[in-house]
């Protein structure tokens, strides 16, 4: 069942086209990812979908099972939210619950979002990961049908990120629809059923991670330390020489390995990698996600 339809959406700021005529649909119960570097238009798109800002043109249509106002059906975890000092986690949850006619039981939220160990701690004393889990609980406090998560793991250490991913998986298992923006491609591969990759306000790819990778990559990457292979041999075979490794692309790993052995090339330090969404983004845009700094 389709729950959101984005049709020819655009947002312009004078000469800047932050969102440039994009369209996509989101189905119920899926985690839908908006991917791209900072400045791609992800946050602008999600803010239009949330009703926070108006589009220059195009529209966002919701199809839900209830007749409630859309604002009552969604939960939002923003990129950054200031929490009130001198309130504990539990007091913060109680305060936000009072804003809604119907809210989820506080103890249930504490359990769902793994807040038990610090539920009586002042907000100002929370770590980055703990704060993000509290913000997730606040986004869920009205039991929304659709949950918006805008780069929820930015700045978190790897362990905290993976712990947050587990929470998202458990929420998705309850048939919630999740809209996730992220510039972490591994996060999208882990969590998303369907994705849109944006760059400079436009959609440059759309589909499931598996579909997109199968569509754009037929090859596997083999990496060997550069000291294992002579530069002349690498050039002769059209292997790409990088700073510390030689990259070999192949559609037949077994045959390539056999050839390397026949050439008496040492296999010490060999690494085999399938293409991922980072590789896809680099192929489609000509640049990686590194070094972006402007949020749009």
d(CA 251, CA 220): 6
Verify that 94 and 138 share a domain, yes or no: yes
Please report, for the domain that includes residue 156, its CATH number.
3.40.50.300
Q: pLDDT, tens digit, for every residue of 266-280?
A: 999 999 998 888 888
In a domain, 77, yes or no: yes
Q: Is residue 236 part of a domain?
A: yes
Instruction: Kindly report, residue by residue over 208-233, the tens digit of the pLDDT.
Output: 999 999 888 888 999 999 999 999 99
Predicted model pTM: 0.82
Q: Are residues 24 and 126 in the same domain?
A: yes
Counted domains in the chain: 2
Contact 152, 128 (CB under 8 A): no
Q: Is residue 111 part of a domain?
A: yes
Quick one: 111 and 253 in the same domain? no
pLDDT tens, position by position, 80-139: 788 888 999 999 999 999 988 888 999 999 999 999 999 999 999 999 899 999 999 999
- Assigned domain for 62 exists: yes
55 within domain boundaries: yes
Whether residue 244 is found in the same domain as residue 186: no
Distance between CA atoms of residues 285 and 242, nearest Å: 20
d(CA 10, CA 21): 5
Q: What is the CA radius of gyration of the chain?
A: 23
Check whether residue 169 and residue 238 sit in a common domain: no
Looking at the fold, whether 54 and 143 belong to one and the same domain comes out as yes
């Amino acid at each position: 069942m389709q729950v959101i339809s984005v049709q020819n959406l655009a947002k312009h700021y004078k000469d800047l086209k932050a969102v440039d005529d994009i369209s996509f649909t989101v189905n119920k119960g899926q985690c839908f990812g908006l991917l791209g570097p900072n400045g791609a238009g992800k946050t602008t798109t999600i803010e239009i979908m949330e009703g926070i800002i108006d589009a220059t043109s195009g529209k966002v249509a919701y199809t839900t099972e209830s007749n409630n106002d859309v604002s009552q059906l969604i939960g939002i975890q923003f990129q950054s939210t200031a929490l009130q000092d001198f309130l504990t986690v539990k007091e913060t949850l109680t305060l936000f619950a009072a804003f809604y006619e119907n809210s989820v039981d506080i103890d249930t939220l504490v359990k769902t979002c793994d807040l038990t160990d610090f539920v009586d701690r002042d907000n100002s004393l929370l770590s980055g990961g703990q704060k993000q889990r509290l913000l997730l609980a606040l986004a869920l406090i009205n039991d929304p049908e659709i949950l918006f998560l805008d780069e929820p793991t930015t700045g978190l250490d790897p362990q905290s990120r993976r712990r947050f991913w587990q929470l998202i998986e458990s929420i998705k298992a309850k048939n919630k629809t999740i809209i996730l923006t992220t510039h972490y491609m591994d996060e999208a591969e882990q969590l998303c059923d369907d994705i849109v990759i944006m760059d400079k306000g436009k959609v440059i790819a759309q589909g499931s991670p598996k579909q997109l990778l199968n569509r754009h990559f037929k090859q596997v990457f083999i990496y060997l330390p550069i000291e294992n292979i002579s530069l002349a041999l690498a050039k002769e075979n059209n292997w790409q020489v990088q700073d510390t490794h030689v990259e070999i692309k192949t559609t037949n790993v077994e045959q390539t390995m056999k050839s390397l052995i026949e050439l008496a090339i040492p296999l010490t330090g060999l690494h085999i990698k399938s293409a991922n969404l980072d590789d896809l983004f680099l192929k489609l845009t000509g640049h990686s996600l590194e070094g972006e700094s402007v949020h749009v």
